[in-house]
Structure 1
Amino acid sequence: MARYTCLFTVALPNNNLRQSLIEILKSLNIEVQYDTAEYLMGREKPGKVAFGKLVTVEVLIDNTTATETEIKMTLVAKNEELPLQMDNHCHQLFQQVSDQIEGSSQLKLIDTVPG
């Protein structure tokens, strides 16, 4: 099972964070299936890759340490594919989501810690 994680610290009020993340996921063909104040879960839409390669993306928002100016969140991308190659489908989609978060004008990135 392939699994990739990263911890992000962003400068954004919490009420805008979830909507910005949902927009990023939708732009990458990831359908949001579960959405709460502290957790988002989306799954890649079927059709482009084999079923076992479909990626699930989870974002865990740490409201316990959030301040008015910054919030931490953990990004997890995983699928059933064995990561036999470094540049597999799961890693590619994880990198795309990470790049979108890092390059977002709405999410002002403060720090990134790869997992």
Structure 2
Amino acid sequence: MARYTCSFIVSVPIEHLQALLIELLQDCDLDVQYYTADYIMAREIPGNVSFSKLVSVEVLIDKSTATEAETRLSIVMKNEELPLQLNNHCRQMFDFVKQAIEHSRHWHLIESLAGS
């Protein structure tokens, strides 16, 4: 199973963050399937890749440490594909969504920490 994680600290009012993230995920051709005040789950829309390569995304919004100035959020992207190649489909989608978050005009990116 391929799995990639990243944490961000963004400057945006917490009450707007969830709606902005849902819009960003939809703009990345992901179907938002479930969300709460501090969690969003989306999946890649079937049709372009095999079922095992379909990517799911979980976004966790850390409301417990959020301030007026900044909010921490984490993303986890995964699929059933074995990551036999460094540049696999899950990694490509991860890089695409990560770049969309980092370059969004809706907030100021304070920090981005990529995991593995």
TM bracket (short chain): over 0.9
Residue pair 1:3, 1:79 contacting (<8 A) in 2 also = yes
Query: What is the letter of the counterpart of residue 27 of structure 2?
Result: S
Q: Percent identity?
A: 54
Shift of 1:107: 2.0
1:106 and 1:43 mapped to 2: Cα distance? 22
CA deviation vs aligned residue, 1:42-92 (integer Å, no higher than 9, x gap): 000000000000000110000010001100000110000000001100000
SS at match of 2:60: strand
Shift of 1:108: 1.1
- Any stretches of 5+ residues in structure 2 without a counterpart? none
2:4 and 2:56 mapped to 1: Cα distance? 11
TM-score normalized by the length of structure 1: 0.98
RMSD over aligned Cα atoms:
0.6
5 Å-filtered alignment, 1:14-93, equals 14-93=14-93
TM-score normalized by the length of structure 2: 0.97
4-13 or 15-24, which moves further after superposition? 15-24
1:5 and 1:42 mapped to 2: Cα distance? 15
Give the total of aligned pairs: 115
